[in-house]
Amino acid sequence: MVPDGWHFWFNLAIGAAAGLVALGAGLDRVDLGLDPRLARDGLRVGAGAFAVASVVIIIGGLTGVVSDDRTDVNVQQMLIRTLVTIPLATVLVEELAFRGVMHALMRRVWPPALATAVGAALFGLWHVLPTWQTGSAGDVEVSRLAAAAGTFAATTAAGVVFTWLRERSGSLLSPALLHLATNSVTFAVVWAAA
C-alpha cells in the first residue's frame, strides 16, 4: 500500500502514465472523452447526475445511512480533501484511466457492452486492495473478505454507471461529475453530520 503522504502524488503519476499510454496508442480527444465540442453535453448530463446523487447522499447522511470512518478531520483538512485531493487524485485520475484510456482501448477490440463490463470489473478490482488492507467497509465491522467483496460489487456497479454516462454524453465530464458527488459530497456530508 502507498504511504498516506505519497497517495496524492502516486495517483497523479498514474494519471500521467495513462496519458502516456493514450499518446502511445494514438488515442485522440474524442476517443478519450475530451472533445471540447461534447463538453456541453457532458456538463448537462453530469450536472443532472451530480444533483440526483447529491440529494440521495444528503438524505443518506441526515438519516445516518451514509457513513465514512475517515471523516475525523478538521475543517481545513476536509476542504482540502473534498476540493483538491478527491477531485484531482481520485476523480480526474480514475476517469482518465478507466473511462478515458482503458475504455477507448477496449472499444477498439470489443463491443461496447463487453468493454463496459470488463472496464467496470477492473474499476471494482482497483478498489479491493485498499479495502482488504484496512479490513473494513466504513463503520461496519465485517470480515476482510466481506468488505472486499462488497467494495468490489459497489465499485463495479458504479463503473457501469460511470461508463454509461460517458457513452451517453461522449464526454468524461459526465462520469467525473457523478464521481465527484459520490466521493467529495459524501465525505463533506458525513463530515458535517459527524
Does residue 174 register a pLDDT over 60? yes
pLDDT digits (tens, 9 = 90+) for 49-87: 999 999 999 999 888 887 777 778 899 999 999 999 999
Dihedral sign computed on CA atoms, order 11, 95, 58, 133: negative
Helix and strand totals (H; E) in the chain: 11, 0
pLDDT digits (tens, 9 = 90+) for 10-23: 999 999 999 999 99
- In the three-class reduction of DSSP (H, G, I as helix; E, B as strand; rest coil), residue 51 is classed as helix
Give yes or no for a contact between 116 and 164, defined as CB atoms under 8 angstroms apart.
Answer: yes
Return the pLDDT at 124.
96
φ, ψ of residue 119 to 5 degrees: the values are -60, -40
**Which among 38, 82, 57 has a CA at the least distance from the CA of 174?**
38
Return the pLDDT at 40.
96
Separation of alpha carbons 65 and 50, rounded Å: 19
CB atoms within 10 A of CB 126: 18
Query: Where is 39: in which H helix or E strand?
Result: helix 39-62
Does residue 36 register a pLDDT over 80? yes
Q: Long-range contacts for 102-106 (Cβ within 8 Å, ≥24 apart)? A: 102/18, 103/33, 103/163, 103/166, 104/22, 104/25, 104/27, 104/31, 104/32, 104/33, 105/21, 105/25, 105/27
Return the pLDDT at 165.
97
Give yes or no for a contact between 21 and 152, defined as CB atoms under 8 angstroms apart.
Answer: no
- Most confident stretch, 5-9, 156-160, 188-192: 156-160
Q: How far apart are the first and last CA of the chain?
A: 28
Q: What is the pTM of this model?
A: 0.90
pLDDT digits (tens, 9 = 90+) for 111-153: 999 999 999 999 999 999 877 766 555 555 567 788 888 899 9
Q: How far is CA 14 from CA 7, 51, 101, in A?
A: 11, 29, 12
